[in-house]
Amino acid sequence: MKNLITLAVVVVVGLVAFNYFKTGELTIIPGGSMSDEAREVNRLRGEFRQAAQVYRQAERTAGLSGLDTTSEAEAALNTVDGIERDLKKLRGAITEPEVRTEIDDLLAEIAKYKNDIR
C-alpha cells in the first residue's frame, strides 16, 4: 500500500514539474483557458529555460572533465537569441496587457541571463 501511495505522489510531482517547465504553470493538467499568445509565451519560456540548462550543463562538463563543449554552449546561446527575437516580434502583435507584461518579464530574465554568462 505504501508503495502505491509513493508511486502516486511521484507521478503527480513529475506531472507538475513537467507542466511547469513546458507551460510555466504549477498544475497537474495544463489549463485550457489561456490564449494562443499566452501559450506561445509559455512555450518560449520553457525553451529558454531548457536552453539555459543545456548551457549550464556544457559549462559544467567543460569545467569538470576538460572536454570541448563550445559547440553545445554556442547552440544554446543561439537558441536563446532566437527566443529573444521571437518574443520581440510577438510583443509587437500582442493586445493583451497581461501577456505583454509576461513577455517583458521574460525579456528581462533573458537579458539578465545573457549579462550573467558574459
**Pair 4, 56 in one domain:** no
**Pair 29, 12 in one domain:** yes
| Whole-prediction pTM | 0.66
Has residue 32 got a pLDDT over 60? Answer: no
Has residue 27 got a pLDDT over 80? Answer: no
Count of domains observed in the chain: 2
**Pair 65, 91 in one domain:** yes
- pLDDT tens-digit readout, 48-100: 999 999 888 888 887 767 766 678 888 888 999 999 999 999 988 888 888 89
**Pair 7, 61 in one domain:** no
Q: What share of the chain is helix, strand, coil (3-state, %, to 5)?
A: 80, 0, 20
Q: CA 114, CA 60: separation in Å to the nearest integer?
A: 17
* Contact (CB, 8 A) for 28 and 19: yes
Residue numbers of the domain that contains 93: 35-117
